[in-house]
Amino acid sequence: MINEKPMQLAKRMSYLGIGRVRIGAVLVNGKNVFSGFNKSNKTHPLCSTNSYRRLHAEISCCVGRDRSTLEGGTMYVYREDREGRIAISKPCPNCQEYLRVVGIKRCYYTDPRIIGNVGMINL
Ligand SMILES: [Zn+2]
């Protein structure tokens, strides 16, 4: 089970997403807590150079924030399918690179293949 509050918030954010997949992201950095979700109807310059046409939740979470509020932060990404089952939300290579560049250090993501349903990557 995922008990951490940021992951619960990411879950709630995922319901705001547009499109077939529900993905929510939350960034925690000290007293700063930011959230985002998948926005398939929007495009972003960062996403237009590849096949990912939608603004991914991870990036949606960071866009427009002051760099100093992102650096050193921890991201939580939640995903579920249409039936409400937890799905793999490991950030795509593009998002991983983006998170690394803006200084995010760690990312927890849902993964039903892992005991506890949460995986982690150090960026
Ligand atoms: Zn992505």
pLDDT (tens digit per residue) in 3-62: 589 999 999 999 987 667 789 999 999 999 999 988 765 445 554 444 445 788 999 999
Q: Is 62 buried (19+), middle (13-18) or exposed (0-12) by CB count in 10 A? A: buried
Position 38 scores a pLDDT of 85
Distance 7 CA to ligand 1 centre (A): 17
Distance between CA atoms of residues 10 and 36, nearest Å: 8
Å from CA of 52 to ligand 1 middle: 8
Ligand 1 center from residue 120 Cα (angstroms): 15
- Running DSSP on this structure, what letter comes out for residue 87? -
Considering only residues 85 and 43, tell me which one the structure prediction assigns the higher pLDDT.
85
pTM, rounded to two decimals: 0.86
Domain count within the chain = 1
Q: Residue 43 Cα, ligand 1 centroid: separation in angstroms?
A: 13
Residue 93 CA, ligand 1 centroid: distance in Å: 7
Tell me which residue range forms the domain holding 70.
4-122
- The one-letter amino acid at 103: G
